[in-house]
Structure formats: structure tokens, C-alpha cells
Amino acid sequence: MAQSVIFKNMHVEWDVPIPMDDGVVLRADVFRPSADGRYPVLLSYGPYAKALPFQVGYRDQWEALIRDFPEVASGSSCKYANWEVVDPEKWVPQGYVCVRVDSRGTGRSPGVLDIFSPRETKDYYNCIEWAGTQPWSNGKVGLIGISYLAINQWLVAGLQPPHLVAMCPWEGAADYYRDWHRHGGILSSFTSTWFKNQVIPVQYGVGRKGYRNPYNGLLVAGDETLSDDELARNRMDPYLEALARELDGPWYRERSADWSKVVVPFLSCGNWGGHGLHLRGNVEAFLRAASKKKWLEIHGLEHWTHFYTDYGLNLQRRFFDYFLKGIDNGWDREPPVWLNVRYPGEEYVLRKEWEWPLARTQWTKWYLDPANSSLSGQIPHKESHATYHAMGQGITFWTPPFEKETEITGPVAAKVFISSSTTDADLFLVLRLFDPEGREVTFRGAVEPAAPVAQGWLRASHRKLDPDLSREWRPYHSHDEYQPLTPGEIYELDIEIWPTSIVVPPGYRLALTIQGRDFEREGETGQLETLGRFRGSGPFVHKDPWDRRLEIFGGQVTVYGGASRPSYLLLPVIPN
């Protein structure tokens, strides 16, 4: 039975039932103005347990956020602040209803846990339609949330629920294969760590073995306590499912956005430091979704930070005030692309643009010269090659010092000619920036504290391109066919490197590293209790021993350059 209280002119209801079409009843918390009326709804649906406070479940992130940005706690008791969803104390006084739903099989909602499944997406649809028809609703529902709670927005938007009016997916992947599980065809180990540490602890049925909400006394993961065997039977393991599916196919497609059906207005917010999860989907959405009213914003810092800062809050509020309240605040006249252009030293300058990639981009090729490990504006006169051990440090190619300040903003790509001593090769490409003294300039990424400028990946046997979707600046691989290598034979690979932004000062150099394993620094760069220790690539690493079998991926790889095999790095240079 739902419980309710009045708190600071806010009516709070816990465990409101939402019946599904198959008889399962999901549970939601509803925060609404205490005054009677009909209000627009901001809804989120996900697996992180609506009853688990931010500062309890994600203490490290919360303490850093409040320390660095005290504005986040200004005007709020923070007792209703939760991981990756809005703080209702920031929205309800502005005339919004905030609804949080525990997804099927998580928190206080029973059922089988199967993330991003068609069943879960249908549940989300039902929740939207339920919220749009409640007596406190004006019939207009908006979706908002970070990461998981952004990803499933793309999925449910494809079902086109009638009461869905607008949405703001904040740093959310959209392609379950390319953005999440298999970067360039290589299995990401992230899912295993994340699922074990962030989802299973709040699976429905953990009950007394889990958290208790200190503010309302409710058990975060349900009132009944199931055995470990029962819990295991009530969930699907997404990592094992992806491990069993190297090629793209129906399982990935039904958990990915269908851009032809995403027609709702949206504000898509990505992160320059989100390589591995928190960028590509946001950009692809802006490029390919059918919606006629869409905006792209890209920022920096940790992926949860600006969602809660005044910058992010004001951005979200303007967007939803326009679409959910009908306030003429000029949002419809805003340019569709907002870029926080990145400078060394974690400096960002907001600039508004009219398209992506930028029309004035000067696509600039830097050619690889294996003879001297350089990147040059001209194709090397002499043919050369260099070999590295796939599990070693790889090869790093350097530009000369830049003579003038140069902005690089947009998609990045590479064409690389290689051969392998085995029947396959995994290529990990890392773009980095160095100052005149040879010190690397790093950035606070979405999760990684010392992120490089950009990263890209490709399994050589997945080199086949989709001719309709591929562009020189964004190769698009079909991942529908396995094409093994003949040892010693030379192959041409086009590699997508996720978008970036960096203004290179005079005297600084760029470096492109090609190697056969995850980019890692010598020492630990940071850690999070829920995601482990990091060394340069955050939690987005590729270490499954079966997917990365040494007899296939642990050989010698040779990179070629020169007139007949012009390997190059393609950079989006933006003129002043």
C-alpha cells in the first residue's frame, strides 16, 4: 500500500502501484506540488532502486559532487536525491510532478530482471501512459535521466507513447552492440562489473540483505527476502548473453534505438570524456533520429556532474518549460547544437552551432610514417612498416609541435593498413595531447579521472563497412560477418574514433597510439566503489579471456605507411 507525507509543500507518495498488461505491478514514488492542479510530469524508469538515496548508494560520487559544486545542494535537503535522476526539490516547486519507477525485477518492483529487453521497454511505455492520465497530470510527460535512464528513453521513444511529449537523454548509449557491449566488435568487460556491483545489490528480493531507506524506513530492494538461487533464476545476465553473440543480430537490435521511429522532440546531452559509453549514442541520435525538433549538447567533467549543476538544471528547465508547459522562452529559436569547446586545464567555452559535424570543418589528414613514428601532413615518400606485439605498448605516432592554436572538434577516424601473424587482431587507438615539455595533458572524463583526448577500437575480422551509413569521418561497420585474416597478408581498416573537442595551443603535440590491448597508464588514476580501479580507460576495458584469446589476438601486428598504403588519422579542424 502506498504511503504519503507532505514535505515543504511537496506531496510525496511511496510505492504507488502501476499495473502492467501481464499482471505484474511495478512501484513508483511520486513527488508533486501539494496544491491541487494538473502539472507536467518528469518520469524516470530504471534499475537503481528509487528508495536508495544518492549519498547512501553512491557515497564517493556524492561527496565529490557536493565538494566541487555546492550549488547542487543549495535549496534542497537532498533526502530525495537519487542516483542519475532529478532531485524533486529542484523541480516540484517549479510546477512539475516527478515520478520514479523501479524497473521490473529491481528495487521494490517484482518480476524477472532483463535489462533493456522488449518487455522492459513495454513496461516503460505503460508507465508513461499511466502518468499521462493521472488526476494530477496535465497529460504531458517528459523523460529525463542519466546513462541507463537515458538509454531506455531512446528505446521507448521508438514505441511512440501518445503522452510522451519531450525527453532529455543525458549521456546515454543507443546501440546495444556498438555503444555498449562490443566496441568495434571487441567485448567490453564493463557490463560484468557494473551489473554485479550496481544492479544485483538492488534486485527485487534482496530484501533484508540489502539497504534500508533512512528517511522512510522502507527496504530498498523489496519486503520479501529471496534466496540467492531464487534471485539468480529471476535475472538474465547481460554479460553472458553478449559473450555468446560476437556478431550483431536480433538480440542487440531489439535493445537498440530504431532511429526511424524516434520522432519526439529531444535534448541529447553527451560528454567529450564519455568514450566507451557516454557519447556516441547521443551524437548518433542527433544525426539519425527522425525527430524534426532535436538538440545536441556536449559538455565535459564526470557524467553525473553537470546534470545536477546550475548549468545543466537551467538547460533542462528551459527545454521542458517550452515543451511541457508551453512557455514561450525562445527555446525553439535556439541553435540545435551546443558545444562546450574544450581547452587544456579543464576549461570549456560554450559555443552554439547549426549542424553536426560543423559545416566549416577542414577535414585534415595526418599520415602515419612507421619509419620514424611521425604524423605528417604529406604522404611519406618511402614505403615503411613497423611491428608491435599485440599485448605490448604498441606504436605511437607524433605530430610536430603545432605552430598556432588549432581547434579540433568533431568526429575522428583513421585508415590503417595492417598485417597480423595470427588470424585476427584487435586494434585500440588512443589520441593524446602533450605540452612542449613532453607532459601529457589529461582530462576528467565521464568516469575516468585522467582520460585521453579520444579513443577508438576495431577487431580486424569485423572490418566490413556498411556502405549506406559509412562516412569518411565516421566509418560504420556492419558487424554481421566474420572475415578472418590470412597471416602476413595486408588489410585496409577504417576505424571509428569517437568524437572529441580540444583546442591545441602553439607548441603542443598530438600523439596517436595503436596497440592491441586496452590503453592503461603505469599507475592507478582513480577508483569508485561500484566500478573498481582505473588506469586511463575508466571501467570500459576489454579483458574477457575467451573473447580475447591469446592464440588469436596475442600475435605480432605490422602497421604500413607510404604512397601505396597511405595510413592516416583524419581530424576535424575548425578554422577560427
The count of other CB atoms within 10 Å of the CB of residue 444 is: 18
Q: What is the pLDDT of residue 565?
A: 98
Q: Are 387 and 554 in contact (CB under 8 A)?
A: no
Q: What is the pLDDT of residue 1?
A: 61
Q: Which three cell numbers stand for residue 352?
A: 552554439
Q: Are 363 and 473 in contact (CB under 8 A)?
A: yes
User: Helix, strand or coil for residue 332?
Assistant: helix
b/e code 386-420 from CB counts within 10 Å (16+ = b): bebebeeebbebbbeeeeeebbbbbbbbbbbbbbb
User: Helix, strand or coil for residue 325?
Assistant: helix
User: Helix, strand or coil for residue 129?
Assistant: helix
Tally the residues of the chain: 576
> CA-CA distance, 172 to 181, in Å (whole number)?
13
Q: Which three cell numbers stand for residue 438?
A: 613532453
Q: Which three cell numbers stand for residue 34?
A: 501539494
452 alpha carbon, distance to own chain's centre: 16
Instruction: For 187, list phi and psi in degrees, rounded to 5.
Output: -65, 125
Instruction: Tell me the Cα Rg of the chain.
Output: 24
Residue from 172, 170, 171, 192 nearest 181 by CA: 192
Measured at the alpha carbon of residue 312, what is the angle toward residues 66 and 29, in degrees to the nearest 5? Answer: 75
CATH class entry, domain 362-574:
mainly beta
Domain ranges of the chain: 3-334, 362-574
pTM above 0.85, yes or no: yes
User: Helix, strand or coil for residue 450?
Assistant: coil
Topology, domain 3-334: Rossmann fold (3.40.50)
> CA-CA distance, 7 to 424, in Å (whole number)?
61
Cis peptide bond upstream of 110, omega within 30:
no
Instruction: For 379, list phi and psi in degrees, rounded to 5.
Output: -65, 130
Could you say which DSSP state residue 402 is in? P
Residues 6+ apart with CB under 8 A from 576: 405, 407
Q: Which three cell numbers stand for residue 365?
A: 589528414
Q: What is the pLDDT of residue 4?
A: 85
- Residue by residue, pLDDT tens for the chain (576 residues) are 678 888 888 999 999 999 999 999 999 999 999 999 999 999 999 999 999 999 999 999 999 999 999 999 999 999 999 999 999 999 999 999 999 999 999 999 999 999 999 999 999 999 999 999 999 999 999 999 999 999 999 999 999 999 999 999 999 999 999 999 999 999 999 999 999 999 999 999 999 999 999 999 999 999 999 999 999 999 999 999 999 999 999 999 999 999 999 999 999 999 999 999 999 999 999 999 999 999 999 999 999 999 999 999 999 999 999 999 999 999 999 999 999 999 999 999 999 999 999 999 999 999 999 999 999 999 999 999 999 999 999 999 999 999 999 999 999 999 999 999 999 999 999 999 999 999 999 999 999 999 999 999 999 999 999 999 999 999 999 999 999 999 999 999 999 999 999 999 999 999 999 999 999 999 999 999 999 999 999 999 999 999 999 999 999 999 999 999 999 999 999 998
> CA-CA distance, 15 to 207, in Å (whole number)?
15
> CA-CA distance, 494 to 425, in Å (whole number)?
14
Q: What is the pLDDT of residue 8?
A: 87
